[in-house]
Structure 1
Amino acid sequence: MKKLFSLLTTSLALVLLSNFGPASPGYQVGDKVADFRLKNVDGRLVSLAGNQAAKGYIVVFTCNTCPYAKAYESRIIALHQKYAPQGYPVVAINPNDEATVPGDSFAEMQARAASKKYPFAYLQDETQQVAKTFGATRTPHLYVVTRQGPDFVVSYIGAIDDNSEDAKLVKTRYVEQAMTDILTGKPAAISSTKAIGCTIKWKKA
């Protein structure tokens, strides 16, 4: 009887986890990325394939409300300003459930993008399917993807740098180190780090 109860409890936990978060670990370095079409704050639908000039993208799952996301906001803008001219624009994606966090609604995304003058696309992952496919769990959670023929392949996953609180105290800039390698045609020497940030606010079942 105890074994049966334990089995039922474990099964229930797995069902609940599947409703509240990613069902799989998502992409790993070297995986091909499935394209997506998400609504930008200007109302346009944006996809990876839509920018033929892009050599790749810096895809960052972020939001309006997380303190970590706010702390990294200027650094994300700086990444776009540095790497978009080299063919790697930032694409920011907000995966949070707006019913749980009203401050992450589409209207609030539009307001923040306008207020902070975002130079990059800021997309709403309304169904949260893109975040689940990538395996994103935090805001911010960053992925560098590189064009290989018709495909985009993951080259780096994780944190932007080693200080989530103060940009002035950063010692190791993980994304910039990875981009230095990627832009010279090499695999990133450090291709994966631990993302630090708020947990994504998943839709309730």
Structure 2
Amino acid sequence: MVYIISFLTLFSLNLSAATGSPSMTVPAEVKGENLVTAVAQSVTIKEIKEKGTVIVFMSAKCPCSNSHMPVVKKLSEQHNDFQFVVVHSNSDEPIKESSDYFKKANLPFTVIQDDEAKIADQFKAFKTPHAFVISPKGKILYQGGVTDSSNAEASSKNFLAEALNQISENKPVLVAEGRTLGCVILRK
């Protein structure tokens, strides 16, 4: 009986982490090489900005991720009380190619190379783009897709924008989890 309860407890904890529920532990910082500057960098997540941190897992080759890059860039300009960070975790994308892509995108925020997908594993990120909005206290307020479409221009709902607007207005996030569409983050 004890073994069954222990198994069920472990199963439910793992299921909670696998679904990326708001109860998962958020790291205090993410570390990696900045793909734009080629300098090792550590980005603090908790207690850094007034409203929190937005982490978006992106790809240099995924069409879905690429179509959402301008949306994320615009949101970072509209919501400058949030810290934005892009994390690149795909093992099948050469660093030089990815670095060139993100330099050309001219993003106004840090792009971290996630060697061995350690950050993606911590967040249980599955596809690109996959967004997380984290409060200054380290609670996940939103996670999921940026929009409801694999092509940002064809979307009818912008989950990330709605979450950021609601947080900025000190309202609860009505949709705390949106469906993630895009390319699977390939791990080694």
TM-score by length of 2: 0.81
Please state how far the C-alpha of 1:44 moved relative to its aligned partner.
3.8
Question: Which has the higher Rg, Structure 1 or Structure 2?
Answer: 1
Structure-1 residue corresponding to 2:136: 147
Unaligned runs of 5+ in 2: 1-16
Please state how far the C-alpha of 1:51 moved relative to its aligned partner.
7.9
Please state how far the C-alpha of 1:107 moved relative to its aligned partner.
2.0
Q: What does residue range 77-116 of structure 1 map to in structure 2 within 5 Å?
A: 77-83=73-79, 85=80, 87-97=81-91, 101=92, 104-116=93-105
- SS of the aligned residue for 2:100 comes to helix
- Give structure 1 regions of 4+ aligned residues with deviation exceeding 4 angstroms: none
Distance 2:97 2:155 in 1: 29
Please state how far the C-alpha of 1:130 moved relative to its aligned partner.
1.0
Q: CA RMSD in A?
A: 2.0
Structure-1 residue corresponding to 2:4: none
Please state how far the C-alpha of 1:127 moved relative to its aligned partner.
2.1
Alpha-carbon distance change, 54 to 172 in structure 1, aligned in 2, over 3 angstroms:
same
Match of 2:66 among 44, 47, 70: 70
Structure-1 residue corresponding to 2:156: 171
Distance 2:106 2:86 in 1: 13
Asked if 1:186 corresponds to 2:160, the answer is: no
Asked if 1:201 corresponds to 2:176, the answer is: no
Q: What does residue range 22-41 of structure 1 map to in structure 2 within 5 Å?
A: 25=18, 27-35=20-28, 36-41=30-35
Please state how far the C-alpha of 1:65 moved relative to its aligned partner.
0.6
Alpha-carbon distance change, 95 to 88 in structure 1, aligned in 2, over 3 angstroms:
same
Q: What does residue range 38-77 of structure 1 map to in structure 2 within 5 Å?
A: 38-41=32-35, 42=37, 43-49=39-45, 52-53=48-49, 55-77=51-73
Structure-2 residue corresponding to 1:159: 145
**Residues 56 and 145 in structure 1, CA contact (< 8 A), matched pair in contact too:** yes
- Show CA shifts across 1:146-173 (max 9, x none): 112xxx2100011111222241x32211
Unaligned runs of 5+ in 1: 1-23
TM-score by length of 1: 0.75
Please state how far the C-alpha of 1:26 moved relative to its aligned partner.
5.8
